[in-house]
Amino acid sequence: MKNEENYFKHEKAIVESDSIGVGTRIWANAHIMKDAVIGERCNIGEGCFIESGVRIGDDVVIKNNISIWLGIIIEDGVFLGPNVVFTNEIEPRSTFPKELARTLIKRGATIGANSTIIANRIVGEFSTIGAGSVVTKDVLPHRLVYGNPARIHGWVCICGRKLTIAKFQSQCICGREYHIEQDNFRQIK
């Protein structure tokens, strides 16, 4: 099922994996290594590099110039802005190799353009990391964070819009509603 007839590969892309989902598009100068697993309906931008052993879910948008190293897991519906940077080593030195660290980007999260994600972190479901951030701590679900280092600046809807809160409630213009009380966040509609 997962063969080149079911996904789009630019003629200048290098695809060594045979696990590419239906409807996925892979653009020029991208390189998908052997044994990387890419879901359905993804977009892999120009100059991206997906290392062997990486798993990427369905409906993931990966803009240009992003390298996804072994140890990083990208769940369904994640959006990675252009030039987002991941790492998979803590305290690296050229001649002192260390154990690989893991990073998990959970369902529906957005990582803004040119952000840097320190290894060994979890980016929560439907959270948003503003462009140009440096993420040094775990990010909780639905949180908006940005800056260097990234700090909490609010809450975001499943649809990506920033939420305004009144009397512990928030209604997004998309129609979804949430109850938000300190760290307690739940969708009520």
- Of 44, 41, 40, whose CA–CA distance to 30 is shortest? 44
> CB of 20: closest distance to its own copies in angstroms?
17
Alpha carbons within 13 angstroms on the beta-carbon side of residue 25 total: 9
65 binds its own copies (CB under 8 A): yes
54 binds its own copies (CB under 8 A): no
Considering only residues 109 through 148, tell me which ones interact with its own copies, judged by CB under 8 A. 110, 112-114, 116, 118, 128, 131-132, 134, 147-148
Widest distance between CA atoms in the chain: 56
Assess 31 for contact with its own copies (CB under 8 A): yes
Told to check if 14 binds its own copies by CB under 8 A, we report yes
User: HSE-up of 169 (CA within 13 Å, CB side)?
Assistant: 7
Residue type, 131: A
C-alpha span between 25 and 183 (Å, rounded) = 38
User: Rounded to whole angstroms, how far apart are CA atoms 11 and 39?
Assistant: 20
152 lies in the site for its own copies, by CB under 8 A: no
Question: Containing H/E element for 129?
Answer: strand 128-129
Q: Which of 83, 103, 127, 170 binds its own copies (CB under 8 A)?
A: 83
Q: Which stretch binds its own copies (CB under 8 A): 1-9, 18-26, 155-163, 175-183?
A: 155-163
Based on the shown chain and the rule CB under 8 A, indicate whether residue 87 belongs to the binding site for its own copies.
Answer: yes
- 29 part of the interface to its own copies, by CB under 8 A: yes
The sign of the dihedral angle between the CA atoms of 58, 62, 68, 71 is negative
What is the contact surface with its own copies in residues (CB under 8 A)? 12, 14, 28-29, 31, 45-47, 49, 59-61, 63-65, 67, 69, 77-79, 81-83, 85-87, 91-96, 98, 108, 110, 112-114, 116, 118, 128, 131-132, 134, 147-149, 156, 158-162, 174
